A = this chain, B = another copy of it.
Amino acid sequence: MSLNLKTHTEHFTNPLYLESGRILEPYDITYETYGELNDDKSNVIVICHALTGSHHCAGIYENENKAGWWDGLIGSGKAIDTDKYFVICTNVIGSCFGSSGPMSPKVPHHEPYRYKFPVVTIKDMVKAQRILFDRLDIHRVHAIIGGSMGGMQALQFAIHYPNFATKIISMAATHATQPWAIAFNKVAQESILKDPDFKQGYYDPEVIKEQGLSGMAVGRMAGHISFLSHESMRKKFGREYKRDDGLYELFGKFQVESYLEYNGYNFTKWFDPLAYLYITKAINLFDLSRGFDSLSEAMTKVTAELHLISFRNDQLFKNFEMKELSDTLTEVGNKNHHYIDVDSDYGHDAFLVELDKFQDYVSDVLK
């Protein structure tokens, strides 16, 4: 059967009341669907994307060759089987792939918001999705699944819309972003802000895409460190030196340096720097206990069957952060949660790369 990939954008004119007290109005939400909604609408699965992900989580667009970011997991006959399920993935607000973000036109003058865009939180991203699903007349879903920032959204759904999903899988995430992860974001943010071509937010996006933005490239390099691990870098690159580079040249490069450069500079061709600032801010602000007396109190809200998956060698959100969440659920008497730590050396990006280590688990949960 076909994947039945469709991309849509919905426009909303009612105000979106944000956690900060500010208002986003109007706003757009871009999303993608796969598979077919069944008659009683009982086969919906929501996928939530990470920092630089998008709604395009599966399949390949015409005239492109790169598949969606979770294509190995989502599709006909795959763990998230589009022959059975109707899968929806929305681009988060604050991002740059169609949903409203800092480079969206601000009414009435239709210039980009830039710094006038309000700070959004993971809770706001989830709220916007909930409103989209309302419009689509979907009031309950079979499952919500996400990794990294997507895993944060899944958890936020679990406590703020406890009756919305039957099952929730959150992986490679945390209950509250720790200073270690905030520090990596800080390097990227500072590097973007201090790049003169960023022009204090008044850059020309076309110029950035064409010429690159070295500040964002450097920031992304720091990000890539946190996505991998000592062990996976050692396996991938060792101490291999770039062919044709002299060992004693100041600018001679190890393979790992070449990898970081390529990925860093390539990144500036497809991601927006202001969106990077806003979304990393949302990640930094993520704390499930905010608005509650404690994390324990927040966890009493959970009613869905909740699955927490960590990756042993995750360097960004440490596996014990998920364990802490699981322990807290146990403490408050939640008997409907499951925690597994995937044995992986890869690092944070294992949730994107080592699908074979958890796809059977996901498939079993969905059954």
Contact = CB atoms under 8 A, between A and B. Distances in A.
Copies of this chain per assembly: 2
Contacts of A264: 190
A224 interface: yes
Contacts of A221: 183, 186-187, 190
A248 B119 contact: yes
B257 A186 contact: yes
Interface residues of A, number: 58
Interface stretch (A24-32, A158-166, A234-242): A234-242
A198 to B, nearest CB: 11
A260 B186 contact: yes
B260 A178 contact: no
Interface string A206-246: 00000000110110011011001110011011110000000
A309 to B, nearest CB: 19
Given A184-B225, A186-B260, A191-B191, A233 B19 contact: no
A31 B31 CA distance: 64
Interface string A229-273: 110011011110000000111100011110011001000000000
B179 A256 contact: yes
| The 3 residue pairs across chains A and B that have the minimum distance between CB atoms | A20-B248, A179-B256, A194-B214
Interface of A: 19-22, 115, 118-119, 121, 176-180, 182-184, 186-187, 190-191, 194-196, 214-215, 217-218, 221-222, 224-225, 228-230, 233-234, 236-239, 247-250, 254-257, 260-261, 264, 277-278, 281, 284-285, 287, 318
